[in-house]
Structure 1
Amino acid sequence: MDTKAKILLVEDDFNLGAVTKKRLEEAGFFVEHCIDGDTAWKEFQRTMYDICLLDVVMPKKDGFTLAQLIRRKNDFVPILFLTSKSLDEDKITGFKHGADDYVTKPFSMQELLYRIEVFLKRTRPLNADKKAIYKLGNLIFDYGELKIVNPDAKKKVKILTQKEADLLKFLCENANKTLKREEILYHVWGKDDYFLGRSMDVFITKIRKNFPAESPVKLETLHGIGFKFHMPKDELPQDFNLNEYIASLQENESTE
C-alpha cells in the first residue's frame, strides 16, 4: 500500500493484542492497540481510522457498545469483531450493532489479513473507484456518487446505498462471467456466511429492479452456481460528465 492504513485494534488480552499488533505492523499497517472500550472510544474520536478490530468481552465498554458509538460517529469505517462467541445469536447481535464482519478466535493471521484487505479495497478513497462510471444499456451508473441515472424514468436520478453500489460495481467489473455465490460474498461482504447470503439475495433483488425485461442488461441466476451479469460492452466517451448529462435531461424535460 502507498499509504499505511490505520487500524484501531481493541483487545483486552494484552499478549494476544501485542502479537496481533506486531503481525499487522509487519504487514505494513499502522496499529493503535487499546485494552478497554473507554480508551478505544476516546482514541477513535481523536484519530481517523480505516478499519476497527474489536473484541466483544472487554472492561468498561464491551465491543457491542463500542461499535454502536463508532457507528453514530462514522457510517463508513469497517468494523470487524474478534470474538470467541460463535453462536448465531451473537453474530446477529454484532451485525445489529453495526459490525461488517467477525473473525472467531482462535483465528489465523492470514485469514485476518485477507479480511482486512477485502474491506480496505472497498472502503479506502481510491481515485479509480471514485471515477468508476459504467454505461448499462440506457442507464448510467456512477459508483463514486452512488447514482444510477435513467433518462426514461420520471425520477431521473436514483441514489443507491453503499452496499448496493459495491455489489453493482463488482458485477460490472466481472460482466459476462459466471460468478459463484461465495465469490460475490467474499469480495463484496468479506465472507461466505448463511446470514450474509440471505442479505445478498435481498440486494440482488434490488439491483434487478433497475433493469426492465427489455433492457440488454440482465442479472441471470444460475441455479446451484451463482449469477451472471449480462452487460453490453458499450463505453462512455472519455470526456463524459455526469452532472452535465443530468442537467441536459432535466432541461429537455422542462421544455417538453
Structure 2
Amino acid sequence: MNAKKKASILLVEDEENLQEALKLNLELENYEVSCASDGPAALKKVDQEYFDLIILDIMLPEIDGISVCENIRIKNMQVPILMLSAKSTSADRVMGLKKGADDYMTKPFNLEELLLRVEKLINKNKQLQEKTNVEDLYQFGGNVINFRAQEAKNGRDETIPLSRKEVMLLKLLIENKNEVVSRERILQAVWGYQVFPTTRTIDNFILNFRKYFEADSREPRYFHSVRSVGYKFTD
C-alpha cells in the first residue's frame, strides 16, 4: 500500500502464536492491526473503533465467531468480514457466509492467499463507499444547498452559512439517500476519528439540519436518526 492513511484491521484470534504471526505479517503490509482474543472483546472494539476489515476466527472463547458476525450485521455495520475456521466442510462455510461473512478461509491457509484476499476485501469496500458525488447544488423541498460556496437557502428564504463539517456530513447523507449511514462510518469519514466520541457529536449536527431545513423540526421529513444504528436522509 502507498503512503495514504493505513487501512485498519481487527484481528480476532484466540490462538496466541497465530495471532502474533498474522499481526506481524499484516503490519508488514502496512495495515494498522488491533487484536482481540475472545468474542466480547471483539464486539467491544467494534463498538468503539472504525475498522476497514475484520479477520474473525470461528472457534472463540465465550462468544463464537458466528455469533460475533451475526451481532455486527444486526447493528447494520457493513465492515467486510473474513472468517477463519479449522472446520472445512461446505456446511460450515455456508453457515459463515449466511451469517454475514464476506469471505471464508480454512486453517491451515496459505499466508500469501490470505493477504491477497485481505487487500481485495478492503479495496472492494472502499469502492462501495465512494458513491457518485452529488453536484455542487442540491435541491430538496424548498431548500438549496451550495456545497462549493458552503451555504444553503431554506424554504423560509434564509441564507445559512455552513461549516466544513456540516457540508461533509450533508454530502455523505445525501450521497447515500434513503440508506442508513452508520455512526461509525460518519465519524470516520467526516471527523476522521479512529476511536469514537459519543453519538452526541453527530446528534447536534442533525438537530441543526432540522432547524435549517425542516418545516417542523420535531416531525422531520428529511433528516432521521435510526436508534442504535445511524442516520438517514430521505427526499
Normalised to the residue count of structure 2, the TM-score between the two structures is 0.54
Alpha-carbon distance in 1 for matches of 2:115, 2:38? 23
Residues 1:123 and 2:115 are matched in the alignment: no
Whole-Å separation in 2 of the counterparts to 1:97 and 1:83: 14
- Could you tell me how far apart the structure 1 residues matched to 2:40 and 2:60 are? 10
Give the corresponding residue for 1:140: none
- The equivalent residue for 1:68 is 70
2-structure distance, mates of 1:88, 1:132: 40
Instruction: Give a deviation string over 1:195-244, Cα, whole Å, max 9, x none.
Output: xxxxxxxxxxxxxxxxxxxxxxxxxxxxxxxxxxxxxxxxxxxxxxxxxx
Equivalent position of 2:184 in the other structure: none
Aligned partner of 1:84 in structure 2 is 86
Describe the SS at the equivalent of 1:52: strand
| Runs of 4 or more consecutive aligned structure 1 residues displaced over 4 Å after TM superposition | 144-147
**Partner amino acid for 2:89?**
L
Structure 2 vs 1, CA of residues 51 and 21 (structure 1 numbering), >3 Å: closer, same or farther? Answer: same
1:95-132: CA deviation from partner (whole Å, max 9, x where unpaired): 111111111111122111110111111112688x4348
Task: Describe how 1:77-226 pairs up with structure 2 within 5 A.
Answer: 77-124=79-126, 129-131=130-132
**Cα distance between partner residues in 2 of 1:75 and 1:44:** 9
- What does the per-residue CA deviation read over 1:149-185, in whole Å, with 9 as the maximum and x for residues that have no partner? xxxxxxxxxx99xxxxxxxxxxxxxxxxxxxxxxxxx
Deviations 1:67-114 (A, max 9, x none): 011112244211110111110110111011111111111112211111
Aligned-pair Cα RMSD in Å? 2.5
Tell me how far apart the structure 2 counterparts of residues 145 and 99 of structure 1 sit (CA, whole Å): 26
CA distance in 1, matches of 2:60, 2:125: 27
Residue 81 of structure 1: SS of its match in structure 2?
strand
Q: TM-score if structure 1 supplies the norm length?
A: 0.50
Quote the offset at 1:145 in angstroms. 5.6
Could you say if the C-alpha distance between residues 126 and 62 of structure 1 is closer, same or farther in structure 2, counting changes exceeding 3 Å?
Answer: closer
The equivalent residue for 1:57 is 59
Q: Which amino acid aligns with 1:89?
A: A
- Give structure 2 stretches of 5+ with no counterpart: 135-173, 180-235
Correspondence for 2:150: none
| Distance across 1 between alignment mates of 2:176 and 2:121 | 18
Q: How many residues align?
A: 138
The residue identity in structure 2 corresponding to 1:108 is N
| Cross-structure match for 1:11 | 13
Give the % identical residues.
Answer: 41
Structure 1 residues 126 and 95, CA gap change in structure 2 (3 angstroms): closer
Change beyond 3 A, Cα 1:74–1:49: farther
Unaligned 5+ residue runs, structure 1? 134-143, 148-158, 161-256
What secondary structure is seen at the aligned counterpart in 2 of 1:82? Answer: strand
Q: Which residue of structure 2 lines up, in the alignment, with residue 25 of structure 1?
A: 27
Q: Partners in 2 of 1:3 and 1:124 — Cα distance?
A: 13
Q: Give the distance between the partners of 1:119 and 1:146, measured in 2 at CA.
A: 21
Contact persistence 2:133–2:175 (CA under 8 A): no
Counterpart in the other structure of 2:40: 38
